[in-house]
Amino acid sequence: MKVQPLVHTKEKLEDLVLSCLTESKKQGATSAEATVNIEHGLSVTARLGEAETLEHHNDRGLGITIYMGQKKGSASTTNFEPSAIKDAVTAACKIASFTEEDECAGLADAELMATNMQDLDLDHPWGVSPEEALEIAIECENTARDVDKISNSEGASLTTSQGTTIYGNSHDFVGSYSSTRHNLSCVVIAEQDGNMQRDYWFATTRDPKNLESAASIGRKAAERTVSRLGARKISTQSTPVIFEANMARSLLSHFVSAVSGGSLYRNASFLIDHLDKQVFSDSITITEDPFIKGGFGSSSFDLEGVATKARTLVDNGVLKGYVLSSYSARKLAMQTTGNAGGVHNLELQAGKKSLDQLLKQMQKGLLITELIGHGVNTVTGDYSRGAVGYWVENGEIQYPVDEITIAGNLKDMYKKIVEVGNDVDRRSNIITPSLLIDEMMVAGS
């Protein structure tokens, strides 16, 4: 048995969007925009060698936003019948009638609409059956459980989904794309002398042909978990810190929040008025490339239909751009950067050293492999999070550590990045290698 998607052709979905826009004009809207999303997929979890969960999903939705001058109203529906669409438009118009005028409200400017729709290689459906998916998940978990000292499991999960998005607005713009995402993960528990540790590994890809093997993911999950046995605290001290590539991503996420229009026009960012100023060490260059084939943030247009473009946000440590939608750009008296909906393959450019070479360079310090909690204030830049990792001396890992807290301020942390690794993690729309920070406070025993 294979998952059966909702039957909607691209042409019918485009017709739905156009009917929304037509109905909006009939009801007096001066402009409007509409988005249709459909998605279908399969998710299975195996635990202790048996099927635990199996889920199919078939989701759909239509959102309509109308403008009466500069009054705005939005409504949504999962019913694609003409009467339901009419009702949704009526609801949006009614909401708009109760809102205040907002001089920054409205569609993005017509001349900014995308015209070059590239094939970005995002759509690779996987016709895997539930039975086949379970076999893969069971193989993944069994491989992990076969490793010595693995005593229990939280399971292995495989998910696969395919979706289509159509966006249109009153500028006669209609854009669409279909995309897939396939994910395999495994979480296991290791035990030794009464001490238990938990860790995981995962892979995610657009094309199932590129998905890491079940055995490889299971083995990595087990090896990472076993390596954490015997973890201990370290004394409170100031020390160099390496963020493993997967953890370095969070540092870039905080940066994106700080340079996003919503934070800037609300004066809720530690990087207000930092354009063309040094915000990172001069070894850091951060680019955005919406046109990476198969990228998780790839798109020819943003959620407002604005054409995306490749650019450099940070050039040798200097902030060269913000992350703006049309609304936040108007609030800041600037122009949208095509980032309504977020960034498109933001990448911290890799260095030349492997993680092992970074450890050698650090000599003594902390390698972070997991972060806990959310103690980050993007208004002030204050940073404090629980952490798990490994203590390093003489350039080599000595033993695992846990129950520690790392603290600092993002402004200082960004400027204290002294080396960037070459171990790039591409499992997200924010792409990062490992990072070596010269000094952070580590609170332990």
Q: Do 106 and 27 fall within a single domain?
A: yes
Task: Provide the residue range defining the domain that includes 242.
Answer: 237-443
Q: What is the pLDDT of residue 107?
A: 98
Q: Tell me what the mean pLDDT of segment 275-293 comes to.
A: 97
pLDDT tens profile 20-51? 999 999 999 999 999 999 999 999 999 999 99
The CATH number assigned to the domain holding 68 equals: 3.30.2290.10
Q: Do 258 and 283 fall within a single domain?
A: yes
Q: What is the pLDDT of residue 142?
A: 98
Q: Do 300 and 357 fall within a single domain?
A: yes
- Domain assignment present for residue 5? The answer is no
Closest CA relative to residue 335, chosen from 327, 343, 345, 347: 327
Q: What is the pLDDT of residue 19?
A: 96
Cβ atoms within 10 Å of 268's Cβ, excluding its own: 16
Report if pTM > 0.85.
Answer: yes
pLDDT tens profile 344-394? 999 999 999 999 999 999 999 999 999 999 899 999 999 999 999 999 999
- Domain assignment present for residue 249? The answer is yes
- Domain assignment present for residue 3? The answer is no
- Domain assignment present for residue 232? The answer is no
Q: What is the pLDDT of residue 8?
A: 72
Q: What is the dihedral of CA 324, 327, 328, 333, to 10 degrees?
A: 100
Length of the chain in terms of residues written = 445
Whether 7 has a pLDDT exceeding 90, the answer reads: no
Amino acid code (one letter) for 351? G
Residue burial 220-254, b: 16+ Cβ < 10 Å; e: rest:
bbbebbbbbbebeebeeeebbbbbbbbbbbbbbbb
Q: What is the pLDDT of residue 10?
A: 87
Residue 1 — very low, low, confident or very high, per pLDDT cuts 50/70/90? very low
280, 417 Cβ separation under 8 angstroms: yes
Whether 5 has a pLDDT exceeding 80, the answer reads: no
Q: Do 30 and 121 fall within a single domain?
A: yes
Q: State the total domains in the chain.
A: 2
Q: Do 183 and 251 fall within a single domain?
A: no
Domain-ending residue, one of 226, 245, 274: 226
- Give the three-class secondary structure for 138: helix
Place of tokens 């949504």: 76
Q: Do 101 and 144 fall within a single domain?
A: yes
